[in-house]
Each structure stands twice: as structure tokens, then as C-alpha cells.
Amino acid sequence: MTLLGKLVSLVSRRTLRVEGHVFAITPERIAIAEGVHASLAMAPMLCAAALFGRPEIAVGAVAAFWNCLCDPQGSKLARLKTMAIFTAMGGVVMLTASYGAHWGYAVSIGTLFVLVFLCGLTRSYKPSLGPMPAQAGLIASLAVVIGIASPQPLAGALEHAGYFLLGSAWTMLFCIFLWPIPFPQSACFTLATIFGRLEDMVGFLESLDCRPGMDRQGWTQFDTVYRRGVRMSIERGRALAAHDARNSPDLGLGIDAAGRVFSALIAIGHVRRNAAKAIDDGSRPLLQGLHRLLQGVTERVQHEMSMPDALIAQADPLLRQAADRQDQTASAVAFAARAVVRLADRQHAFAMDPETPPPAVAGAIKLDRLVWGHALRVAVASVLAFMIGTMLSVTFAYWGAIAAIVVTQPISANTWLRVLERACGTLVGGMIAAVLLTNLSGPVVMAIAILPLAAVTVALRLVNYGLFVVFLTPMFMLMSDFIHPAEGLIVARLTNEFVGACVGMVASFLLWPQKESNALTAAISAAIAANMAFAAAVLRMEGGDQGAMATVDRLQREAGLASTRLEVARERMLLEGRWRSARLERLRGVIVALRTVCAAAAVIEVLRSGEPDARDRQRAHRYDSLTAGMLEALTSSEARQPVHSIEMPVEMPADDLEQAIQHFVTVFDVYLGSASERQRVSV
């Protein structure tokens, strides 16, 4: 596992720039054990089908594979609930679809539409940090298509549903109870990714020119690419720790330490970038020492080893070296080193944020417009793709319906990217399938080839969708040939993928498309509110108060995530062909200004040791009022209402944070419109 851990860390560093996109690569989420689980869960049903000459039994192997895709890999109760929901849904819809298709083409089309729509109503579309396991509703809609493609009288439909339930129930028993996975591989990979990126962030920071006005492109890259990449990997780790009881104790402490180091690096970057004069090289040895310290942490987690006393001994000289200097960079380096020391010292733990709510418990399904609108869109797309495939007499026409269901996304830009990933994956996977279909013969040999492909597919399901499709394509082509042998599978696959992709694209762009401008306004509002809340909280924070520090850490996380989501929303609009929009170009300035506000506030957070005075509280209150005025101006911009003016109190300190706020308000006013069209926000 050491070699694999090094490979994961290496790949994660090379994929830093794609963070925050639907085509992101997250190598720390490779799941080798889960892949082996899936292969072994599928084996009994697949072997039985081969040995008894009953290919319909392989429907149970398909159900086992799908249930493994739905497995959230958390506590036993959470896994059991998710997989049981899929088992029940899949069994019911497959029975209904197969029996409904028995009554003729018109009934099968109506059944397909209704069942896919109902499955879509059970899905949710909350923003996630990187790839997550497939939801039961999505996979159940695929079972609908399989049922429609296998019309049977009631007895035959019950038999198919029975094989499905048997394979899915066996998967739950095997994966959850008979052979659970106890080792913390995913936690080690996650920490190796996070600290490896922090290590690179320090190295990049050290290479930047710290003279005023120099290397602006490099500093912009530091403030966007590096900060976004580290923040996203940290939050993916938090999500893993929140739902996986096996890994949360070790992973939680490591992520807390990484969060503190990240805050220190943001503060160092802000101080060095905004210095009034060139900084001497006295801080460079401190950065080199911090780089070596983080490298030591990365090496330990790659080897799945605990943090030893040697790591504390490595941090002590760095702390003494920082204590000899009185500048802000030295204080921030000491802040980061102390976070690593507390990680190595297992007797200490970071304070928990008292305002952080426990993980949300799934409640009643809220059928808002996004849910039912997209369910209707997907149902129409699946029906159109299936009808086109059957009218053209394409072999396995149901593949086109499956492709349409998978590629159709609530936001059209996401559909376009999913089509590209699926097209590339299908092309490569089709070539693999061609080689296998040419050289394999007999059900037993076919089953032996399917199982390792299934293992690799499940292992990569959270890493990257394109890689997932590369191995999914030959696996399901072999499975289809195993159950229903046919000629021309390669051409049929490519044709169906083309039909499904085209229908999905048309459905996403023409059928009740989401208003991206409204989503963009919401993202801007969220980013402004989160970053300004962090700035105000920092001014109110009392030095040494662990609870207050934890609260501020949470607010900083929310600010970073909100800024990242705003960046992604802007890039989605660019992908939709709006690259010449002057509004989006001005928005880029707003995002950079928000990052500057967050960095200036991080400097105060890292360096503060005393109590806030009256002026600090007054500034925090003013920032709250300023935020309210800006949000009101943003939401009422179409009505051309004037922006509320917030007067600047006398004798307000013009520190970095205040200057960042002033610059942000100026850029925000430019984004809203020219000064002749609306009043400026006064600071």
C-alpha cells in the first residue's frame, strides 16, 4: 500500500488545477477493497448462470454491481439503509417494467416514462465536493430500462425481479455483515493528498517574488489554483470523516491540523504579496523548514504510520527559529508548526466548533422545482432515446436510454462535460471490449473476464467518471453478450451512446433549463455573505478562546467553499458560450477581491493574541451592515434600485483588511454597473 499511497499523492498534485469541476480527478478516493467486494459479490450469481446455462440468473450479478455503486461506505446502519432502499426500489420497478412491456410498445413507453419520473423524484442535487456514490434513484431508473428491454408475462417478470432481489440482498449481507472492510486505507490516502498539496503550496509560495508588484500571475495562481485545490481536498476529507466511523478519529485530527496550516499559508501569502517594501530572505529558511515538516507528515501517512516523537522533534527547531524573529511570517510559520505538533501529540485534540451542527439526518423528500423538473426532463429524454433506437432497429436500443439518463444533468454545462467524459471513456472502453469479444468464447471464460473488470470499475467510481466509463463499457458489453448474445456490439454501443448523448444534450438545453443567471446571483450572494461574515468574526474573536477559534475556522471554511462555488458557476457560464461576456469578466475581479478579503482576515486570525477593542467591534458591526447593503443591491439590481451607502467612521485603522474591504466594494460597484447608473457604496 505504500507504493499506491505515493502514487495517489503524486497524481493528486498533478491534478490540482481541475479541482472544483465535474471532471475532477480525486485519486485519494480509489477503493481497491470495495472493488474486490463488488467482484466477489457478483461471482456467485454469475458463476451459477454460467454453470447451469441460465443466463437470466446474471441479472442478480447486475443487481449486485449496482448495489455496490450505491454503497456510501459509512456506518453499518447508513449503508444498510441506502442499499436496502435501492434493493426495494429496483425490485419493484424491474417487475413493473418487465410486465408492463409485455403488453405492447405503447404500454412499455408509458411505463418507461412513469417509472423513470418516479425514480427521479427520489434523487437530490445538493452541491458536493468531488464525486460521491451513485444515488439509489439514479440506479433504480437504470433497472427500469433493463426491465423494459426484457418484456415478460407475470411469471417471467417475477422471476427476473426475484434474481434481482436475490443478488442485491446477497450483496448487502456479504459487504456489510460477512466481510466488512476494517482498514483505514481511504483515510491515509486522503491525508497524504491534503498534506502533499500543502507541501506543494509552501514550495510555490517560497518560489514567488516577494517584491511589491512583482510576479502578479504567480500570486494570482497562488490565490486561486492552490487555495482552491487545498480547500477542496480538505473538505472532501471532512465529508469522509463525517460519515465514516472507521476513519473519523484519525482523519478528523489530521484535517483539523491541515486546516490550521492552510490558514497560516494564506496569511503568509497575503503578508508577502502586499508588503510595502521588498521582504528580505530571512523568512525563506522558515518556509523551507515548514516545507520539510509537511513533507515528513506526508511520508508518515503514506506509510500508514502514526505521528512519532521524531516529528515533534523536527518541529521544535522550527518553532525556536520562528521565535527569534518578530515579523508576521515567523508568527504564521509558528502557528502552522504548532498545529503539526498537536497532531503528533495524541493527548491533545482541537476544540470542536460548538455551532457546527451534527450530520443532517435524511428526512422527507422535498419535491422542489429542481427535483421534479429534472425528473420530468430525464423521463422525456429516456423515452425519446429508446424510441429513436427502436425505430432505427439498433441492437440493444435500451443502451441509448441508459446513456440519456446518465448524461442529462440539471445544468446544461454539466451535461456537456458529462457527454465528453462518457464519449472518451466509451471510445477507449469500446476498444478494450473489441479485443475481449474477439478472443473470449464460452460463458465461463466470459464470467472470469467480467469479474476483474467489475472490480476495477467500482474501485474507480469515485476517482473520475471518464476512467469509470473506460472499464464500465467493456464490462457491460461482455455482460450483455453473456445474457443476450448478439452481433455488432461495438457498433451498437457507439450508436446508442451517440443517440443518448444527443438526446441528453437537447433535453438539458431545451426542456425547462435552469436559469443560470439566478444560480449565479445566488452564488455571488453566498460568497459575499460568507467572506464578510468571516472578516467580521475575526475582528470579534478573543485570543486564546478555543471555542471562538473553532467557530472562526468554520466560517473560514465556508468562505473558501463559497468562493470556489462562485468560481465554478462562472466557469460553467463560460462553457455555455458566454466567454465574451463583460459581466463575467468583471465577476472575475469580484472573486479575486473576495479572496483578498479572506486572506487579510486570515492574517488577523493567525496573528491575534489579545482581546478585541471597541474599534474592532465597531468595524465588525460596520462590515455586517455593509454586507446587508451589498446583498440588497445585488438582489434588486434588475429593478435599478440605489445601493445603500455605509459611511466610514472616523479614525478607522487602514490595515490590510480595511484596504481589502475598500477594494472589494469598489470592484463590486463596477460589477453592478457604472457610477452614472447607480450610487457607489461608500466606505
How many residues in total does the chain contain?
Answer: 683
pLDDT at 97: 96
Q: How confident is the model at residue 1 (pLDDT cuts 50, 70, 90)?
A: low
Q: How confident is the model at residue 65 (pLDDT cuts 50, 70, 90)?
A: very high
At residue 399, what is the residue type? W
Could you report the per-residue pLDDT of 266-321, keeping only the tens digit for each?
888 888 877 655 556 667 888 899 999 999 888 887 776 665 677 788 888 888 88
pLDDT > 70 fraction of the chain, expressed in percent and rounded = 81
For residue 386, pLDDT over 80 is answered with yes
pLDDT for residue 450: 95
Give 632-678 pLDDT, tens digit per residue: 888 775 444 444 444 444 455 567 888 889 889 988 988 887 433 43
Q: In the predicted model, what is the mean pLDDT of residues 368-381?
A: 88
At residue 132, the pLDDT reads 61
Answer with the residue of higher pLDDT: 187 or 58.
58
pLDDT attached to residue 231: 83
Q: Say what percent of the chain tops pLDDT 90.
A: 33
C-alpha distance from residue 93 to each of 66, 111, 636 (Å): 14, 10, 46
**664 close to 596: Cβ distance less than 8 angstroms:** yes
Q: Residue 276: what pLDDT?
A: 55
Secondary structure string (H, E, C) spanning 426-438: HHHHHHHHHHHHH
CB distance 16 to 226 below 8 Å: yes
Report residue 184's pLDDT band, with 50, 70 and 90 as the boundaries. Answer: low
- Quick one: pLDDT band at residue 16, thresholds 50, 70, 90? confident
Which residues, including other chains, have CB under 8 Å from residue 443's CB and lie 6 or more apart?
49, 50, 53, 55, 482
- Using CB atoms within 10 Å of the CB of residue 160, give its burial: 0 to 12 exposed, 13 to 18 middle, 19+ buried: buried
Highest mean pLDDT among 33-47, 337-351, 432-446, 501-515 belongs to 33-47
Q: Which three three-digit cell numbers place residue 270?
A: 497575503
Architecture, CATH, for domain 186-344: Up-down Bundle (1.20)
When comparing pLDDT for 93 and 346, which is higher? 93
The radius of gyration computed from the CA coordinates of the chain, to the nearest angstrom, equals: 27
Q: Give tens-digit pLDDT for 98-136.
A: 999 999 999 999 999 999 999 999 887 654 444 566 788
Average pLDDT value over all residues in the chain? 81
The predicted structure's pLDDT at residue 109: 96
Q: What pLDDT shows up at residue 440?
A: 84
Integer angstrom CA distances of residue 75 from 81, 181, 245, 357, 524:
10, 11, 6, 19, 36
Is 90 exceeded by the pLDDT of residue 456?
yes
DSSP label of 123: -
Describe the crossing of helices 412-439 and 465-483 by its angle, rounded to 10 degrees: 50
Residue-wise pLDDT tens digits, 409-428: 887 767 777 888 888 899 89
Question: From CA 62, how far away is CA 385, in angstroms rounded?
Answer: 22
Q: Mind listing the pLDDT tens digit for each residue in 24-49? A: 678 888 888 889 989 999 999 999 99
Q: pLDDT category, 354, cuts 50, 70, 90?
A: very low
From residue 43, alpha-carbon distances to 60, 140, 440, 446, 610 in Å are 10, 21, 18, 12, 64
Q: Which residue has the higher pLDDT, 365 or 407?
A: 407
Query: Band of the pLDDT at 238, cuts 50, 70, 90?
Result: confident
3-state helix, strand, coil in the chain (%, to 5): 75, 0, 25
pLDDT score of 352 more than 90: no
| 39-48, 324-333, 497-506: segment of lowest average pLDDT | 324-333
Which range among 172-186, 300-314, 569-583, 613-627 has the greatest average pLDDT? 613-627
Residue 371, pLDDT score: 84
Domain boundaries, the chain: 31-178+372-510, 186-344, 516-672
Residue 257's H or E segment, with its range, is: helix 248-273
Looking at residue 417, its pLDDT comes to 75
Residue from 202, 80, 67 nearest 138 by CA: 67
pLDDT at 518: 65
Question: What is the pLDDT, as a whole number, of residue 565?
Answer: 80
Provide the pLDDT for residue 489: 84
Mean pLDDT score, 544-569: 79
